[in-house]
Every structure is written in C-alpha cells, then in structure tokens.
Amino acid sequence: MRCFGTLLLGMVMMITNATAQQKDFLTSDEADQIRVAQEPNMRLRVYLHFAQQRVDLIEQALKKEKAGRAGLIHEYLEEYTKIIEALDIVADDATKRKIVIEEGISAVIKEEKAMLAKLQAIADAPPKDIGRYQFALTQALETTEDSLDMAKQDVEARRTAVAEADQRRKAERESLTKAVEGAEGKALPKTEAAKSEKRAADAAAPDAEQRATGRKPPTLRRKGEAPAPPKP
C-alpha cells in the first residue's frame, strides 16, 4: 500500500508541476479571437497570423543588442512553437471529422514555408547570444517542418496518420493506468481507475488549445449537433 501511495503521489506531483510550469502562449485578446473563430479554415488563418507576429517580434528583437533580448527571443520562439502545435490540432480535428479545409491548408503551406525560411536564416547566421535560445529555435524549426509535411499530405494520408497517433496516445494512457493499478497488486476501484486514467491522459497528451484559453477549446460542432459517428 505504501508503495502504491508513493507512486500515485509522485504522478500527481509530476502532473501538478507540469501544469504550474505551463504558460499561456496567447494573450487574452488572442484567446478571445480563437474562441470567436469557430470555422476551422478561419481558425487556421488566425493561428497563422499569431505565428507570423511572433516571427516578426523575433526579427525585431534581433536588430538591436540589448539586455534581456535573449530571454524575449526564447519566449517568442516557445510561443510560436505552441501556436503551430495548436494549429495542427485544428487541422487534425477537421480532418477526422471530414470537414473541408483546403483553403486553410493552402494558407498554412504558404505561410509556414515563409516562416520556416526566416527561422532557418537565423540558425544559418547565428547571433552571439543564440546559446540562450538555441534549443527553442531548433524546436521551432522541427515543429514547423513537421507541420508543413502534414499539410502537404493528401486528406486520406493525414486522416490515417491522425488515427494512428490517437491509437498511440490511447495505448500510453492505458499503460500508465495499468502501472498505477499494478503498484497495489490489484485493480483500483472503478472511480479511482477513471480518475487515474484522466490524470494519465492529461499528462501524456495536454491539449494545446486548452492551454491557450485556460478552458476547454471551443467545439467546431454547432449547438445541439451530435459527435460524428466513428469511422467503420
């Protein structure tokens, strides 16, 4: 029992610390704009606009060497990366629900190519203080490349990739839940098992849009519309 309690406490502390360290990557006004942009093509364009703003801020900061510049650039890069991740969540959700997003995806391909080129230019001619934000820059580049690759896929290929990713996350959640149950040597009560699975899900796959707004992300379904049935 003591072993189980220690493991469970460790998991709770890990999740709590991760939540405490999360920082909103959108301003309050930006989060409001996302909530208003219910239609996925529109929401993709709004996220692209915010990403472009972060790249502009990075370029402006690089023009002048001054105290605190590296910290600001690091922050802008992290926000940019999370925005691109949130953008991909929108595209993946729309793809699963068979919503036409060709217009938004075309904009994503065009703008991400431009932003990727600007970020790569920074990496190719590194500023003196790049050591402070080298990792954040690498993450931004890799995230943009991955997002661009997904955007270039045809609809069916992306739908398959999204489904496979969902299966992996489900398996990870189940594995974490079983680890907690196994620590006590028997299955947890039903209510405790459900709570444990929810904690595991939150730790394994935090929702980027939820972190942005501080609440459940707006649904793309109309009021009263039932969820789409699973694909046979």
- CB atoms near residue 120 (< 10 Å): 14
Q: Is 111 found in the same domain as 79?
A: yes
Structure tokens at 172: 């990870």
* Total structural domains within the chain: 2
Listed residues 152, 174, 197: the one ending a domain? 152
Q: What is the largest CA-CA distance in the chain?
A: 61
pLDDT at 12: 39
pLDDT at 9: 41
pLDDT at 11: 44
Helices 40-62/28-36 angle, 10° precision: 160
pLDDT at 185: 56
pLDDT at 206: 46
Listed residues 109, 124, 152: the one ending a domain? 152
Q: What are the contacts of 132-136 at 24+ separation with CB within 8 A?
A: 132/70, 132/71, 132/73, 132/74, 133/70, 133/73, 133/74, 133/77, 136/73, 136/74, 136/77, 136/78, 136/81
Q: Is residue 19 part of a domain?
A: no
Q: Is 171 found in the same domain as 60?
A: no
Q: Is 198 found in the same domain as 109?
A: no
Q: Is 115 found in the same domain as 171?
A: no
Nearest to 213 by CA among 32, 22, 18, 19: 32
Sign of CA dihedral 87, 90, 94, 99: negative
Q: Is residue 143 part of a domain?
A: yes
Listed residues 125, 152, 179: the one ending a domain? 152
Q: Is residue 14 part of a domain?
A: no
- Which residues constitute the domain of residue 166? 155-212
Q: Is 145 found in the same domain as 38?
A: yes
pLDDT at 177: 80
Q: Is 57 found in the same domain as 85?
A: yes
Q: Is 147 found in the same domain as 173?
A: no
Q: Is 125 found in the same domain as 173?
A: no
Give the chain's residues under pLDDT 50. Answer: 1-22, 188, 204-206, 213-215, 218, 220, 230-232
Q: Is 115 found in the same domain as 187?
A: no
Q: Is 134 found in the same domain as 37?
A: yes
Q: Is 181 found in the same domain as 68?
A: no
pLDDT at 199: 56
Q: Tell me the whole-structure pTM to 2 decimals.
A: 0.67
Write the CATH number for 47.
1.20.120
Nearest to 57 by CA among 126, 118, 127: 118
Q: Tens digit of pLDDT for each residue in 25-69? A: 999 999 999 999 999 999 999 999 999 999 999 999 999 989 899
Q: Is residue 89 part of a domain?
A: yes
pLDDT at 1: 43
Q: What are φ and ψ of residue 84, in 5° steps?
A: -65, -40
pLDDT at 61: 96
